[in-house]
Structure 1
């Protein structure tokens, strides 16, 4: 759901089905969370990862590309004793061998899918899977306390932008994909380095029978020059783009 705090028109550019009937409004009548996020131990999806980071003490942004594989490692329970899945991420740099570098927790619930990343719990999907349906995807995340380092995640309204549509992701032509718009926010004018600006953007796509096939996340916070110094991007500025290149 798009929200622009200060006028502007430009937008800088889960892992892991049952046949169902679709009506003209775009709803998928019998779709379940499992249809678009089928967790099975041993399942994996490999992505091209484009990671945007600040360099030179925040004076510039740079994109670094890798291959990453998200693999369902084990069926476990979470802290609330709910059935969950441990996801291990493997990374390959410069044609090297795969190395495990992170772990995540996926918890399918009666009406949604929770995903824990860096100790932050997101509600990635929610029933009903229907065009225009929205929910507070970051409601479990502390975004308001004085010590919160992720205040920019406050009040994100996730929304199904399209349901059950054909989509091309990388080299894959996928017949049934849902798109989740998470945020599209611009504060200030990012094209003017003389003033403060901020961008918060998030979108994910899930394919039936596969899972997460595309993700784009961007958070930038730019501080303008002070005195004789130049402007810089604040600590915590980063972006992630995942594009599926393989799966089993």
Structure 2
């Protein structure tokens, strides 16, 4: 009987500990706080193919994301409309509108729509044991141009850590590793190469502070060898926000 009470007591302690841990998970609203009027300025580096695919080059800009309005989507979910503006890195030219993005909060996720592609960028609970299919809403079946997004497992990494951006060192950040594959491990121009790398970093009380995405396929044959046309990348690095 004494052993039975001991076992019950231990199980109760474990249960209470798990419940306490669950209560300590940071909310998605804390790491992605959206409100109309917020603006975020980033250094944007765009990777593109040049010289008919012979190489990759980087084009750099300043990007400003402005939260323009809020609305309820067709499923009655709170959503935000975000306008993106670009200009040169020296800030000489005026801002030029380039794109509209949508972000939607569900009960357990945050969705982000870019170029009519819906990504599940965040998911509860915010824990390194949390995995989710972030590209589940995207058609990745060939001949889709987005075949390389198939079956990605998003995962939280480096929870509540510091992260260095162009704004400086930011505390309380949360990294979402979306994909990290490369074949072969080191680029070799004499053979077929494919790489997909994608991460996003969010900060408590701020939102997205860093994003890096790169996908390329290098085809050595037929000659001349080249990167496929759908090889591209983007990097966002936070400069300022309000």
- Tell me, yes or no, if the aligned pair for 2:25 and 2:125 is still in contact at 8 Å: no
TM-score, normalised relative to structure 1: 0.85
SS at match of 1:57: helix
Query: Larger % of helix: which?
Result: 2
- Tell me, yes or no, if the aligned pair for 2:167 and 2:240 is still in contact at 8 Å: no
The alpha-carbon distance between structure 1 residues 100 and 27, as it changes in their structure 2 partners (threshold 3 A), is: farther
- More displaced, 168-177 or 65-74? 168-177
Question: 1:90-169 to 2 correspondence within 5 Å?
Answer: 90-93=85-88, 95-144=92-141, 146-169=142-165
Larger radius of gyration: 2
SS at match of 1:34: helix
Structure 2 stretches lacking a partner, 5+ long: 1-17
1:77 is aligned to 2:72: yes
The alpha-carbon distance between structure 1 residues 202 and 188, as it changes in their structure 2 partners (threshold 3 A), is: same
SS at match of 1:155: coil
- Tell me, yes or no, if the aligned pair for 2:86 and 2:98 is still in contact at 8 Å: yes
Q: What is the aligned partner in structure 1 of residue 13 from structure 2?
A: none
1:105, distance to aligned residue in structure 2 (A): 0.5
Work out the CA distance in 2 between the residues paired with 1:157 and 1:191: 24
1:160, distance to aligned residue in structure 2 (A): 0.5
Runs (4+) off by over 3 Å = none
Q: What is the aligned partner in structure 2 of residue 33 from structure 1?
A: 28
Work out the CA distance in 2 between the residues paired with 1:205 and 1:131: 14
- Tell me, yes or no, if the aligned pair for 2:191 and 2:219 is still in contact at 8 Å: yes
SS at match of 2:66: strand
Q: What is the aligned partner in structure 2 of residue 6 from structure 1?
A: none
Work out the CA distance in 1 between the residues paired with 2:22 and 2:213: 26
1:61 is aligned to 2:56: yes
TM-score, normalised relative to structure 2: 0.87
1:231 is aligned to 2:231: no
Work out the CA distance in 2 between the residues paired with 1:132 and 1:169: 26
SS at match of 2:52: coil
Q: Which has the higher contact order (CA 8 A, sep 6+)?
A: 1
